[in-house]
Structure 1
Amino acid sequence: MVTSVLRVVLLGLMLGAPALLHAQSAASGTPMVGRVVDIRNDRPIAGAQVILERFKVTSLSDSAGAFRVAGVPAGTHEVIVRAIGYEPLVVMMAFMASDTLRPEFLLNNAAQMLNVVKIDTTTGGLLSLRMQEFEDRRKIGLGRFLDASFFARYFGLDIISILNGRFANISATSGPHGLSIRNARGGRSCPAQIVLNGQMMGTVVDRGLIQPESVIGFEFHNSASTPAQYGGTAIGGAIYGSGFSGASCGTAIFWTR
């Protein structure tokens, strides 16, 4: 049962560098700088172990939940995250030589059960299938997610006002051709591709197709977590790489009733 998840943010907030234990660092390779937090409230978890057993490397998170691993060789490697009182997390991650990987590991209390996913059956089986895809990715935790309850809290606001400021480096803008979602990365801002109910729409979509009151889910994925069917790559739903054609600026996925 997967109860701990991982959010990968390639361009996130700069985090502190805690002490690195038993570090087998290298002059080259991919640095991994991130945080370990409680999935229930986003509070930092101090003393969590971030382990790459293949390289005998263990990093310990500090009081802010921050950790750092330097010089991870390029390739796909198993990462284990453990903390006292929490379910362990085991995930395969793709390290690219040109990237700094900034994951945020979300751990679930060992005694906590997953909430039951409730589906509005009045909208039929198609909605159930759509939201199953949404929920499956949210359980894994690769990406950033807003569900129907979030949008319900902002009833009456337009979609741009709702989305702006929710995630670091992500902004919604409106132009003569419609709505676009922009991702600030590497000192520049570029338009993410937009997917609406599983259909790829390009980088601009008619705002009339995305009314806030009809939105039941929103996902944003950097190139590292874009699903395979939208131009990314995934193996077994747990391995994601970066630098994919058509998704290099990220992927914004809207789900509507």
Structure 2
Amino acid sequence: RAVGAEGASGVATFTSSATGIVPRDLVLGRADTVVTTPSGPQAPEDSGLVDIVLRGAGGVRGTVQTVDGRPLANAIVGLSATGLAMRTDSAGRFLLAATPTGTWTLAVQALGYAPRQQPVDLVPGDTVAQVVALVRVQAMDTMRVRANAMARTVPGRNLADFDERRKMGFGRFLTQDDFAKAEGGNILNFLTSRIPGMRIADIGRRTLVSSRGPTSVSQRECPIRVIFDGSLDAAPLNLDSIEPSTIAAAEFYTLATLPFQFAFGGSPCGTLLLWSRW
């Protein structure tokens, strides 16, 4: 993934040859976050679920086919980490419109075929054409799959997404085990002791500011933005009122490393995401 002043790319996976280095440019782009309510029947515990989809001025169309050129109908085509996906029609065709721009990963899968991922460069105002060929695989024996019901609840889904971002390693991350050690203590003191570059300031109330913010910004006037359970409240969050043991995870990003879905009104001094246990 590439991040710069002009935007960012998505996460793209590349495979080089066994005998050399393959150069690959990454295109920077932009994405807008759209929050929607899932359609279809939902279990009672899922009533608070929302879908986060990334949109933009790009687009990708094309065909999914076999290695000998036969079209594959009903294949699933999506852009990884955007929430955008669809199935191919009877001629193997697909169209993903209003996608983010920049370099992203086009992921394709179909029953009986090996899944494939390939990078695609999406540019504003254009629909990029792609042809994806899938290789047939030998059928496997029947396997039993157990689903994790917690992943469909709001906290479970938040933590599943947290784990995915932690694997990417772009921010600073604290887990439930970390917060359990601070039980009964002050969350501000705990966070400043575990995340470099944070300090406490009194701006009407005690809050977090960055000790490494831009030199053009007064540190007293540039608090770290705090997002609690994915929502940015209009009123500043009173961190002193939060018991550390109620927090399941935390992640901190600079403005340059902040994921797209949390980039609404980013602070130059950084963004702290807090996820509750319940």
TM normalised by structure 1 equals 0.44
TM normalised by structure 2 equals 0.41
Larger radius of gyration: 2
